[in-house]
Structure 1
């Protein structure tokens, strides 16, 4: 079995996925990338700048495509996958009554079902490199407390948190670590998206208007490194996420009042 460790990252064409890929690549890992964005994958490959990189264009909603992506990566690495990063995801904001059936189903399928499919596909590979292999899921601060104006997105991220906790128990006996990242608003291209199809307002503007900070994407990459090598189940990233985690645990009544009084649906 090859000595160089290997990590496969979905959503690797940009944003958090690209940042994680660059950091692990710089530190000598064989990097696998998955995304639907072929051009973005090429750009990430170029930025990694060495030959130990593999990319596969596929949709995380396709269970069979997962097998093809990970089997291909395992062949490229000489038979090992140490870490799978379930990172692919999309935003969806606005009041629930504004969200179309198509938007709701797409968000659920990519953000939650894609994570479940990834875990299933990764399991046989992670067993082979255990103990110490890791499934790392990108959740969100929206998985700490439900965000007004983002009910569907929050539901998916609560789901990712639940999957992480469930598999942490299920896979402990096999020596597979299961972890999640819970970032707040991160400086990635997703911030330029409209909150939903009925809105012309970009998420970045919504965040800025609310006075919330935007965390550098490199902070998430370092958090990913720490999560893979540490023993913490959930890792919050950014001041907003950390404040939310504290308030939800120690000041739940106050947090509820703040959410109810300051709620402004993201689609307005």
Structure 2
């Protein structure tokens, strides 16, 4: 056998072994999670009056689920409820419920869940999606103490209180195959200038979900963390009103996803049994690189992503930091001037 034949044989053997490993890991992922059965199930969505939450509710309605959406603004909530009803696969049978509540308040969030069960004819939530969140990007030195507290209250504690009460109700009502989903962000995987009030809350959600992945499994409840990139939503438009230029460069505003496509990524990841779900391949590389000893989506694929991440993530950091050089210099000069007054 000549050198080329030997090289091709070795390559084919390695590739075949890797593909077999990938297939086994994919099978194990799906086997470890209960099947995703949306039709007739009660799906509970916070932040459901707009953006990702509303588009997710549309997809759930199209799949035949009974959907409860929760948000603070009553008018926007009722308008979203009507739009979601238009997506029902079986309008005669499905129930689309809207409940106005501030999930950042533990008592209100708890009452909302109990009201939802009553409105859904005693049916407890089987799938809970904590989509409510906010951010107002600016530089760290510009924030007030209450800004940090409010964002943590909504993004982290709003999800935490909702999921804790929902898990208790799933156990109480003997819900089989229940799942809870927190919506973190790729910003929860790496620090981005301009998001000092936001990234810690999303990182906290990621670690909360990793803990729940193991703990709630005791009761047959699966936990997922969704880590999307930018999404074209009203919230994203609000972000852009205050976003520093350096954040725009790093964030890549022109690449924001369609919210419906993003919601579909979430459901697809749940169907595959992924503990941590991303919306694009770059997010998967960063996720796998930052995974540590947490659960893998697919060990074979994650190993490949980690290998790529060792080279691509540092390179990306150097490139964007170089691109933002003039912005950093301008901000430093301006900040020194302001603080010296």
Q: TM-score, normalised by structure 2?
A: 0.69
Match of 1:217 in 2: 259
Match of 1:110 in 2: 154
State the structure with more CA Rg: 2
Retained in 2: the 8 A contact 1:207–1:213?
no
Of 24, 49, 56, which residue of structure 2 is paired with 1:20? 56
SS in 2 for 1:44: helix
Shift of 1:22: 0.5
Give the Cα separation in 2 of the matches to 1:119 and 1:93. 27
> Which residues in structure 2 correspond to 1:133-172 (within 5 Å)?
133-172=178-217
Gaps of 5+ in 1: none
Q: TM-score, normalised by structure 1?
A: 0.87
More contact order relative to length (CA 8 Å, sep ≥ 6): 1
Give the Cα separation in 2 of the matches to 1:104 and 1:228. 31
Give the Cα separation in 1 of the matches to 2:315 and 2:45. 38
Give the alignment's Cα RMSD to 1 decimal.
Answer: 2.6
Residues 80-133 of structure 1: CA deviation (Å, up to 9, x unaligned): 210111110001312211111121111111011111111211112222354411
How many residues get paired? 260
SS in 1 for 2:129: strand
Gaps of 5+ in 2: 1-38, 86-90, 291-305, 332-341
Give the Cα separation in 2 of the matches to 1:195 and 1:234. 27
Match of 1:34 in 2: 70
Instruction: Note if 1:47 corresponds to 2:89.
Output: no
Of 40, 44, 64, which residue of structure 2 is paired with 1:4? 40
